Structure 1
């Protein structure tokens, strides 16, 4: 008598896809925590906390390697097509963006350590925009990950459209920092560090937008990366 293993094979395949998705979401939670800790260390002038963020970046990189291995194994062994292939490709791209977000969190922590590791500390006005920008950036990442977890296209589209607000905050902050440097050349060193920090937050928003766009691709099969989001509706995605 021949015993069919097809059911077991399909079940194992579904489990592998689910494990990859869970791994990516776990990595996302870690990266979100890294950003929060890095910004909090900056606001508290906490060198110990900043260095802990830098030291923990290797954990983020470990997730990156594990996820890449899972993706390669699935592509090589399962030869996925259709929605399964979209899932694997979307997870692979999401991991890349999450790893880069982790790098930006580490950068903020390194800038914090540099700015406060001495007697010449920066004036508070140089960092006045960090809290509001960080709130927007973290909200974008959290929303994108939530959309990924729930396969929520409407939320993903809203996140993708929301990147303009963070970009506007970045440009306004950049102009203020330029003014501070012109008014008082002694602030130039710390102002440059502040620019690196707000640029890191702006980049976190960009990567979060990318993740949201991958959710749209995953669920709807449509690549919206180069589409003007303000003109895009759910009806467009269903057509």
Structure 2
């Protein structure tokens, strides 16, 4: 796995993917909106002896997505692992949200991920490669547009993992639950104010390790921790009205 491209790499799970892959001596292409944060992380990771390339891009902007896609299509310097991690959350009250924010949310989570997968497959098919789409256990539960976006990623990853296995490409939807990152703070929800029991929180390092392991095994869906696998199994049989009510308690 000599080269990995990670979106949303400046913080949270994206930065953790970058750190773990650098320790495995993978060269990196880091993508995010924040140039300063990207350069700071890149400089730290270069100390491990890996090459780090930085692409500053806002994946809600089509021209920026194309900039990243062009890098993925570069057959002369191919990417072997794509991690679609970029994303953000919105309040769950869809009708009260600005519809332009909702459209931007959809573009980042679904359209950008689809376009980057399409670009990556142009060079991975026949040569081999891995794609990890960071989804969420929210994708198994009915709750506003975040859930719908993650559900799409899970469904598409399942299909693509089967379809492109013959070409040596695995596609994995990584579905963590509540994870200690800056995701919640960016939404104005500091840790401890979600109303979520402590035992449901996961460590970012563990989530990334499980995701990389399951991708290496060719699994279509990776759900870190037994407790969340049980929750997903229950969500499949419980009434959606009940699971939706429970899901209002926090952001996953």
User: TM exceeds 0.5?
Assistant: no
Structure exhibiting the larger radius of gyration computed from Cα positions = 1
- Which structure has the highest helix share of the two? 1
- Which structure has the highest strand share of the two? 2
Higher-RCO chain (CA-CA 8 Å, sequence separation at least 6): 1
- TM-score range for the pair, normalised by the shorter chain length: 0.3 to 0.5
TM-score where L is the length of structure 2: 0.31
